[in-house]
């Protein structure tokens, strides 16, 4: 099955969301390429970016589960469906 690369970016409004987010990420662990978490203590939020490689329906399911957690703001960016052209300087 064709897979795509995506980045799921989240802002957790409070630390109580983290346990549920981590449980869902663990559930989808086989498609996670890597993740980065940044606690932004001055603003009282946590910023998490997760890179995944999975079929589009799996990425959508993962994003949907994470996005339904109260206190989580989320956006997902997908790679081009058929690969992409290399970046070129103008």
Please state, in angstroms and rounded to a whole number, the distance separating the CA atoms of residues 57 and 52: 12
Q: Which residues lie below 8 Å from residue 80, measured CB to CB, with a gap of 6+?
A: none
Residue 48, class by beta-carbon neighbours within 10 Å (0-12 exposed, 13-18 middle, 19+ buried)?
buried
| pLDDT tens digits for range 35-86 | 999 999 999 999 999 999 999 999 999 999 999 999 999 999 999 865 444 4
| pLDDT tens digits for range 9-39 | 999 998 889 999 999 999 999 999 999 999 9
pTM assigned to the model? 0.85
């Amino acid at each position: 099955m064709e897979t795509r690369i995506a980045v799921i970016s989240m802002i957790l409004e409070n630390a109580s969301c983290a346990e549920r987010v981590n449980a869902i990420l663990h559930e989808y662990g086989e498609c996670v390429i890597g993740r980065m978490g940044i606690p932004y203590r001055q603003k009282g939020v946590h910023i998490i970016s997760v890179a995944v490689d999975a079929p589009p329906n799996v990425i959508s399911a993962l994003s949907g589960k994470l996005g339904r957690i109260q206190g989580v703001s989320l956006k997902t960016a997908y790679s081009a469906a058929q690969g992409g052209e290399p970046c070129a300087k103008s």
